[in-house]
Amino acid sequence: MTDTRPAYPRFSWRDLSLTRIQDTFDERRSLLALLRFSRPRTLAALCVTVATSIAAAPLTAIFASHAVHAMTAASPEVDLLPLVWPVAGFAAAMLARQAAEVLARALKASASRRIDGVVRSRVRRIALRPDRIAHLEDPEFHDVAVRAGDQGFTWRVRSPGAAAVGQLEITARTMSAVAMAAVLATRFPVLAVVLLALSVLIRSITRRQWMHLEAVKDAATPERRKVDFWADLAAGSEAAKEIRLFGLAGWVSERRLVAHHAWEAGHWRTRRRVLRSQKATFLLAALCAGLGLLVPGLAAWAGELSIAELSQCLVAVWGILAISVMGGESYDIDYGRTAVTALRKLEDLTGPDRHAPRENASPGGPAPLVRFEDVSFRYPGASAPVLRGLSLTIRPGERLAIVGASGEGKTTLVKLLAGLYEPTTGRITADGTDLRSLDTTAWRRGMTALFQDFVHYPLTARDNITLAAPEATPESDEKLLQLVRAGGAQPVLDRLESGLDTELWRTGTDGRDLSGGQWQKLAAIRALYAVEHGRRLVVLDEPTAHLDVKAEARFHEQVIGSVGDASIVLISHRLSTVRPADRIVLLRDGRITEEGSHDDLMRLGGEYARLFLLQASRFHEPTAGGSRTADSQADGSGADGSGAVDIEQGAVAREGGEEAR
């Protein structure tokens, strides 16, 4: 397997080029720019604390010099009043600096949380901005989104807010070091420049190593998502039944641990290498300390410096060397900086809304005439297309059924119809206008869908219905109840303590959850509500998957019969479900291979007829008096009249029969 970890950083003179320096400057400036998202009063207070810290640094050196001079010059007979003001000034400078640091911690925490909230909101807006959904199925998008919205894992924090306030603190420390260098330069200008340059070099080397360490961890983001998957699987409710029924608890925990080790392995190896590479920084630090003590000390030994001047120089040296230390804010910057970079890359991946409206659809009008004209579609990164030269017409007010085995492109066709993807080749038109030319929002307000995996919103029953047309004026309870009764969901509502106002949320204190069939009935009312508010194209993707045979029959009578002149596209594996449709199309290998009414397709004796008879035969039970008649088999009416066998099972059985032949 190819090693995708970044190469270990080596020093290059190109790192000192003006271009690299300018890039670093621009990056740090962008971090400081994030501070504008904090509250104005918080930002103003932060600026005051920074100014106080910067000013206090040289003042401590100056007051220290005056205090030492006053103490060495004082005698028992001499007035001690001249000693008071430099000592008081030194204490005040130290106290102001400490107070500023304490206050800054609270202010930085507040500003950081505010900035993080803004960045997370931007990540959500970026993800929701495109009209299409291809970016949501792109692994690169997910990896970058994780880095952009990451708020920390284990001991490290990757927070844009922490990076911004950390950069502010580093800026203050750098300016303090420059101020200390200016104080030292009054006596030893060359030493001041050398110490400042070496301190910055030490910091640069250390920063480079820790940045590389973070890059190694970023490269392992896909492994990190595996860790999250196993953790969610162990703690979530979706797989709880299977995990306990099959005794997989220990296995899932072990898989999570293995994934965690795979994620962290490269990071641990790199961290050990970084720690072994500290010799250069140790030697440089020793050199700085030696020069800072030796040069002023020799000058004082030679009588060129007084004790007071020596103390001032030593305090200034200490202040300069402080910039070489990698504090917690340094890690905040280098970890949080990648989140800011990822946010910019995230915007590049999605780009601006390229699907700006040019023509308006007409929601609320008659059902449109929709045509798929030689449409082919291939998912990004897929080796083969899902749809191949498909042509299909959806006539106004028609009940069209689409059947086929799993993976034949039924749901993909619906995604294309909704404008969630664009065809790779060919086009889709509504009343002669290409969907790509229509206002996507207006087009979608003319259609609705009931998917098999529809969302269970943790809201009231009322909201779960009315979200199908959020732009509509709220209905009165009486109108909603009429819709519920028309769709046959009144028994579901009768079981809810607060009726339409019952919270459907299994983890809520006063919430209630519904069974799969009850949720599906409520979702059917959601579709009817959408039709009531102007949707004239209805997609039903496995709408009766959780319903029994009688409920399925009522669904067709009450729900499909209540949509009026709206067009219906019905997708199902149960061929008994699609039998009443005006027209049925069979998808195979991404193409329409059969088309017609149920009776037409049965007379044709092709794939549809074989699958239908195979489903019906599952209800053939020999009795003492013989078997059921061929007519009853052809009708698909078993003991319960459903013929409800999954079409995928039929396809598998057919293929097995062909092999046997």
CA atoms within 13 A on the CB side of 361: 32
Give the sheet arrangement for strand 447-450, strand by strand: 447-450, 537-541, 567-571, 399-403, 583-588, 591-596
Cross-strand pairs, 571: 402, 541
Residue 339, both tokens: 């989140």
Which amino acid does the sequence have at 429? T
Segment 178-228, tens digit of pLDDT: 999 999 999 899 999 999 999 888 887 887 777 777 677 767 767 777 887
- Write out the DSSP string of 248-259: -HHHHHHHHHHH
Would you state the torsion angle of the CA atoms of residues 349, 350, 351, 357, taken in this order, to the nearest 10 degrees? 160
**CA proximity to 215, closest of 408, 460, 8, 466:** 8
Alpha-carbon dihedral sign for residues 251, 254, 260, 263: negative
Rounded to whole angstroms, the Cα distance separating 98 from 95 reads: 5
Rounded to whole angstroms, the Cα distance separating 659 from 573 reads: 23
Contact between 614 and 648 under an 8 Å Cβ cutoff? The reply is no
**CA proximity to 345, closest of 553, 123, 603, 628:** 123
Exposure of 78 by Cβ count < 10 A (0-12 exposed, 13-18 middle, 19+ buried)?
exposed
Which amino acid does the sequence have at 515? S
Buried-exposed string 454-479: b where 16+ CB fall within 10 A, e elsewhere: bebeeebbbebbbebbeeeeebeeee
**CA proximity to 137, closest of 122, 126, 127, 151:** 127
In the chain, where the domains are located: 24-350, 370-620
Check residue 400 and give its pLDDT: 93
Check residue 603 and give its pLDDT: 92
Query: What residues of the chain score a pLDDT lower than 70?
Result: 1-17, 73-81, 137-139, 142-143, 146-158, 214, 218, 221, 237-238, 328, 331, 335, 338, 349-364, 506-511, 545-547, 549, 553, 558, 618-661
Residue 623, both tokens: 């009795």
Helix (H, G, I), strand (E, B) or coil at 481: helix
Rounded to whole angstroms, the Cα distance separating 389 from 374 reads: 4
Contact between 321 and 288 under an 8 Å Cβ cutoff? The reply is yes
Q: What is the topology classification, in CATH, of domain 24-350? A: ABC transporter transmembrane region fold (1.20.1560)
User: How many Cβ atoms are within 10 Å of 333's Cβ, its own excluded?
Assistant: 24
Check residue 129 and give its pLDDT: 74
Check residue 75 and give its pLDDT: 57
Which amino acid does the sequence have at 552? E
Strand (E) or helix (H) holding 430? strand 425-430
pTM of the model: 0.61
CATH class assigned to 370-620: alpha beta
| Residue with token string 């010059």 | 73
> Which residues are CB-contacts of 128 (< 8 A; sequence separation ≥ 6)?
none
Residue 198, both tokens: 């070496």
**CA proximity to 180, closest of 282, 291, 323, 325:** 323
Cross-strand pairs, 585: 402, 595
> Which residues are CB-contacts of 580 (< 8 A; sequence separation ≥ 6)?
399, 556, 560, 598
Cα distances (Å, whole numbers) of residue 390 to 375, 396, 588: 5, 19, 11
**CA proximity to 450, closest of 371, 563, 362:** 563
CA atoms within 13 A on the CB side of 448: 27
Exposure of 251 by Cβ count < 10 A (0-12 exposed, 13-18 middle, 19+ buried)?
exposed
> Which residues are CB-contacts of 616 (< 8 A; sequence separation ≥ 6)?
633, 634, 635, 636, 637, 638, 643
Residue 429, both tokens: 């038109």
- Write out the DSSP string of 215-235: HHHHHTHHHHHHHHHHHHHHH
